[in-house]
Chains A and B, each alone.
Chain A
Amino acid sequence: MTNPTQITAEAGRPFVDIVREFDAPIAAVFRAHTDPELFAQWTGPEQLSVDVKVFDAVTGGQWHYVSTDPAGGTYGFRGVFHTVEHEALIIQTFEFDGAPGQVSMSVARFEETPTGTRISTHTVFPSIESRDGMVATGMEHGATESYRRLEALLERDSVHSA
């Protein structure tokens, strides 16, 4: 079973809030965010290989990774861990090499729940344009397209069966 992801991104405000629960103890969830080998296994856009160059998940530490797409295109991302509180909080900055100066900051809170761990992330972008553009960055472009095709297909089906 997959837990739902709650995403709030209001128009006119350069924030994104994401809340998600994981069916694993807080120690494991936090480790997956701070151990570079584990982090590389799940971060980054789909089908892009991730090469973690630097990943020092401590207060004041730096991080840097490079994603490579199947065509050989590379996308570099870097930032600093502003604050890391063990199994509680990670505040970090995020910058895409392709958009220098557009630095976002995210505050991720880790909380134990009866069934596992909840992560609540609040991200602040330098502008609304930056927020909207960041999502498209390094994205597998075909994904949106195929998703839209699927949506169109589902819509058509529901019209037919109505």
Chain B
Amino acid sequence: MALADPVRRAIVARLSLSDATVNELAAPFGITKQAVSRHIQVLESAGLITRSRDAQRRPCHLEPAALETLTEWIDALRLETERRHRRLDAVLTTLQEKHHR
């Protein structure tokens, strides 16, 4: 998941304030510009951020709608999986009770 990584979460948090270049994003982290670029690529491929093509500095821009979609998707998956597993827990409990009778 794009937001599973703490650096990527921090990048998203920073971009929620304003657009920023790779250099600006790299500054607060003790990691290389290349590493930050890789994180940006992950966020870009997930559609969470876009980069303008015109300017040479190519600032990164957060897509709030995409972020919401991703959050909804993973929340929906978690919620449904959790419910499914709890129902399975209940079935298993019933099975074992029958077995012990």
Chain A residues in the interface with B (C-beta under 8 A): 2-3, 5, 7-12, 16, 18, 20, 22-25, 28-29, 31-32, 38, 41-43, 45-46, 132, 135-136, 139, 143-144, 147-148
Contacts and interface: CB of A to CB of B under 8 A. Distances in A.
A135 B76 contact: yes
A41 B46 contact: no
Does more than half of chain B's interface fall in helix, strand or loop, or is it mixed?
helix
Nearest to B99: A28
A92 B99 CA distance: 29
Given A12-B45, A23-B92, A2 B86 contact: yes
19 contacts: A5-B82, A7-B77, A9-B1, A11-B3, A11-B45, A11-B46, A11-B70, A16-B77, A22-B88, A24-B92, A24-B93, A32-B91, A38-B95, A41-B90, A41-B91, A42-B87, A42-B88, A135-B76, A144-B76
A8 B77 CA distance: 10
B67 to A, nearest CB: 11
Nearest 8 pairs between A and B by C-beta? A11-B2, A11-B46, A42-B87, A24-B92, A12-B45, A42-B88, A135-B77, A28-B95
Contacts of A139: 76, 80
Contacts of A7: 74, 77-78, 81
B55 interface: no
A11 B95 contact: no
B24 interface: no
Contact of B1 (A5, A11, A20, A22): A11
Nearest to B88: A42
Interface of B: 1-4, 42-43, 45-46, 48, 69-70, 72-93, 95-96, 99
Contacts of A9: 1, 74, 77
A67 to B, nearest CB: 12
Given A7-B78, A42-B88, A135-B80, 13 more contacts: A2-B85, A5-B78, A10-B4, A12-B2, A29-B88, A32-B95, A41-B90, A42-B84, A45-B80, A135-B73, A136-B76, A144-B79, A147-B75
Residue among A9, A11, A43 with most chain B CB within 10 A? A11
